[in-house]
């Protein structure tokens, strides 16, 4: 712990030097809209992050029993909303009655989020397809889910934006590529970057990968980039994670505190 703290303090000091000011910094974007700064995956979170100057977002997509797409991370509503169990067990009318625990906001539907994003060109957005639970998303449900996700998202994409379909689950990523071989996809791993992640990503035609920064080495990031991968690191819980991502040389950091990152970066500008 002391060693890591010393390294972080050293990097923080070096960042103020002119040579570091010229280095390319990783792009940072708002995980679930900025989950540690605002109530996660609510319209308030996305709007607040945007108003603070954040131009990249990540969110999570699930499907109700009658095929409507909603924004929710967990397999269950219990942690974040005034509801019980999987949203997949509810029809859309019941889902419309669900509210968030902290601010009593309505459960966010994908269509509502896309309405907010539609007039904002130049955004980077990751749409994570939350299908890893095969009880909720068996193989025979993937095609219908993926088609709905792809069609709804691509119909509302603003100009000059990069929108990426992401998942820990290879099944929807493969399905997206069947719909459109040129679609931007990204394979996520709940662990450090390694050869297995790179090989799996190659196998499904993804030149984007995401990994936990803890345990990832600078050499592995450099090797991935040498092979043509765009590397995203996560999580970004505090400024230490920003410094870690900077040291690793990742292309982007998925952050729960994007405004904190931005304010720190702005404070170092001449």
User: Phi and psi for 168 in degrees, rounded to 5?
Assistant: -80, -20
Its pTM surpasses 0.75: yes
Q: pLDDT, tens digit, for every residue of 206-265?
A: 999 999 999 999 999 999 999 999 999 999 999 999 999 999 999 999 999 999 999 999
Q: What is the CA radius of gyration of the chain?
A: 19
Task: Enumerate domains of the chain plus CATH numbers.
Answer: 32-75+109-267 (3.20.20.190)
Given CA atoms 35, 41, 42, 44 in this order, what sign does their dihedral have? positive
User: Phi and psi for 230 in degrees, rounded to 5?
Assistant: -95, 125
Q: pLDDT, tens digit, for every residue of 77-130?
A: 999 999 999 999 999 999 999 999 999 999 999 999 999 999 999 999 999 999
Q: pLDDT, tens digit, for every residue of 145-191?
A: 999 999 999 999 999 999 999 999 999 999 999 999 999 999 999 99
d(CA 117, CA 111): 10
Give the pLDDT of residue 175. 98
Give the pLDDT of residue 270. 83
């Amino acid at each position: 712990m002391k060693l890591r703290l010393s390294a972080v303090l050293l990097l923080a000091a070096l960042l103020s030097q002119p040579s570091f000011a010229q280095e390319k910094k990783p792009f940072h974007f708002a995980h679930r809209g900025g989950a540690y700064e605002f109530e996660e995956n609510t319209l308030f979170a996305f709007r607040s992050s945007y108003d603070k100057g954040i131009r990249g977002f990540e969110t999570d997509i699930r499907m109700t029993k009658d095929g409507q797409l909603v924004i929710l991370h967990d397999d269950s509503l219990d942690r974040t909303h005034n509801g019980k169990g999987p949203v997949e067990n509810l029809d859309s009318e019941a889902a419309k009655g669900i509210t968030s625990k902290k601010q009593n906001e309505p459960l966010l539907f994908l269509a509502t989020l896309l309405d907010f994003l539609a007039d904002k060109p130049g955004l980077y957005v990751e749409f994570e397809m939350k299908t890893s639970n095969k009880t909720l998303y068996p193989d025979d449900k993937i095609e219908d889910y993926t088609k709905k996700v792809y069609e709804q998202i691509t119909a509302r994409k603003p100009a000059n934006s990069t929108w990426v379909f992401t998942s820990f689950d290879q099944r929807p990523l493969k399905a997206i590529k069947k719909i459109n071989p040129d679609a931007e996809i990204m394979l996520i791993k709940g662990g450090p970057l390694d050869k297995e992640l790179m090989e799996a990503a190659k196998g499904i035609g993804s030149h984007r990968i995401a990994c936990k920064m803890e345990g990832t080495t600078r050499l592995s990031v450099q090797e991935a980039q040498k092979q043509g991968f765009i590397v995203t690191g996560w999580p970004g819980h505090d400024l230490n994670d920003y410094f870690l991502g900077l040291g690793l040389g990742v292309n982007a950091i998925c952050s729960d505190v994007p405004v904190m990152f931005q304010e720190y970066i702005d404070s170092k500008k001449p």
